[in-house]
Structures are given as structure tokens and as C-alpha cells.
Amino acid sequence: MSRHFITIEDLAYKDLATIYAGACSPFDDETLKGQGVALIFERPSLRTRASSSSAVQELGGYVTFFSDEEIGLDTRESAHDVARTLAQMYAICALRVRDHRVFEKMRVATNDEMSLINLLSDTAHPTQAVADVLTIAEHFTRGDVDQLSGLKVSYVGDATNVARSLSVALLRLGAHVTVCAPEGYQLAHGGGEDPFAIASGSLLLSDSPEDAVRDADVVYTDAWVSMGFEAETQRRRLDLASFQVNESLMKKAKPGTVVLHCLPAHRGEEITDAVIDGESSLVWRQVFHRRSAMLGVLRWIKKEDHD
């Protein structure tokens, strides 16, 4: 039975530990020698496509890229038939999808014979969360993810896919997570990658950015207008205007607080130039760790001692 990487919530702690360790392994290996990974993107991507492609190549494999137009998941052809076709030729299929439920359809269709990797869905962005944890641990605990217990991380903005996977990943490591969003943009209960289902760490919901950043070690934000919500752009800019991560807000934080953003950034909306380009910003280390994260996920998927 193949391993899947669909949410952080789904994984056992020892599997997450293997992923974090494998992400930073200095050893060259040929885990994917001669093997293909199908990459399907229903939405645009720079970092995820680049990090997936380069990590597969680093491990000796090759990728085939399929755009939304070429595949037409559940439009040109059913997700079931796409999955069964790809499983004849690929060991791994990594997808960025509109609807998280596609993963379950593809898993069932292939009887778990092809590994699936979630490269962002409407409810989760778990490869980003692995990169975020690696970035935070590198800065605060010399890379030891097991020492992040008690760290205070505040997410400010639209609490969607990135916020959900980030929260789950950090809660599972015992961190204190505050999610600060206006009414209508706060974390939703249920669905894939549910922060409310995690028993460890602590989760606080807030609607005050000033309160949220006051004791934070890390402040994190993401787009106000996620992919697929473009029609709501004007309303979202108004609703989220007072949740911008700017210099004035960061003055309320303590010295040493760092800022993260998954990118792409919308400078002047959720974050200002002064903050994203400032000394507290770790965004380029986050980008670097997107590739580390993919190495960890791919090595874990192919690890031989499936138990």
C-alpha cells in the first residue's frame, strides 16, 4: 500500500518526524532513480512547481507536468479515470486542486497503488507547512522541531488553506497558535486539515491583530484573495484592511519577532514592503525550505520500512 501526503493531520507523529529529518538529510540518494512523478496543477504556482520539480530531480527521478486544461479533472474526464490511468505509469502523483475531496476519489480509484501528494487544496497546504516548521525551527531551535513546544505563533489575515496546515503542524509540535481574522474569515471547523481536532498545543482565536502579535515569536500572513476568490476582491480588501501586517502593527510585537509569508505576496495588501523586506522577515528561508520539505516528503513516501 502506498503512502499519501494529503494533510498534516492524517500523519502519525513518527511519520512527521521522518519527514522533518529527511528534509534536512545531507546525504545524496537516488530514492526516485528512474521513477516518474506526475504533477497536476489546477491552479497557478511558482514555488510549489519549482520545489517539487527540483526535489524529484535531486532524488534521481523525473516529472511530467499536466496543466488544468490538459487534464480537466472531473470535467474532461473523471478524477477516477485520471487516477487509474496515471497509476499505470507513475508511482507518485502530486496535485494542486480546487477541491480537497479529489484526493479521496483518486485514492479509492487506485486502491492506494499510487502515492498522492497534496500541493495545495482549498483546505490544506501541507508541503508549505513542513517548510514553515523547518524555517521556524532553523531560526529558534537550531533546526530541532521537537523543541518548538511553547513557541507562540500568530497568524493574521484570511484563515484558509495555509493557516490550517500551519496551525495543525505547529499544534502537533506543542506550539501556542493564535489565529486572528475578522468575522467570516476565521478558521472553519471540520474538513480536511482541522486545527480544532488537534489535542496538543493550544489554539486561540482572536479578532484583534494588536493582541495577537503582542507576545508572538512568529507573525504569519497570507493573501487576502486566495486563488478562486478573485470575484470577491473588493469586499475582501475592505473586510481585511485592518488586518494588514505593517510596521505599525509590528511595533506592538516584542523585539526578535519574525515574520513569515508563504508567498506570493500582495505588497500593500496583507503585508507592506517595509515588513516583508525588513530584518524580521524570514520569507526567503521559507522559500529555500520548500525544496527541503519536498525532499523530506518524497523520501518518506519511498522509505522501505512501511509499518
Q: Which residues between 218 and 237 bind ligand NVA (CB under 6 A)?
A: 222-223, 226-227
Other residues' Cβ atoms within 10 Å of the Cβ of residue 140: 16
**Which residue's Cβ has the minimum distance to ligand CP?**
48
Cβ–Cβ < 8 Å for 129, 74:
no
Q: Say how many residues touch ligand NVA, by CB under 6 A.
A: 9
Cβ–Cβ < 8 Å for 266, 236:
no
Q: Which residues between 63 and 122 bind ligand CP (CB under 6 A)?
A: 120
Helix (H) / strand (E) element for 220: namely: strand 218-221
x-marked contacts with ligand NVA along 103-122 as a string, rule CB under 6 A: -----------------x--
Q: Which of 114, 145, 263, 271 binds ligand CP (CB under 6 A)?
A: 263
- Give dist(CA 220, CA 261) in Å, integer: 6
Provide DSSP, 292-304.
Answer: HHHHHHHHHHH-S
Is residue 270 involved in binding ligand NVA (CB under 6 A)?
no
Q: Which residues between 14 and 73 bind ligand CP (CB under 6 A)?
A: 45-48
Is residue 292 involved in binding ligand CP (CB under 6 A)?
no
Cβ–Cβ < 8 Å for 59, 295:
yes
Is residue 262 involved in binding ligand NVA (CB under 6 A)?
yes
Q: Which of 18, 53, 110, 161 binds ligand NVA (CB under 6 A)?
A: 161
Is residue 262 involved in binding ligand CP (CB under 6 A)?
yes
Is residue 287 involved in binding ligand NVA (CB under 6 A)?
no
Beta-carbon contacts of 31 under 8 Å, excluding residues fewer than 6 positions away, are 59, 60, 61, 298, 299, 302
Residues that bind ligand NVA (CB under 6 A): 120, 160-162, 222-223, 226-227, 262
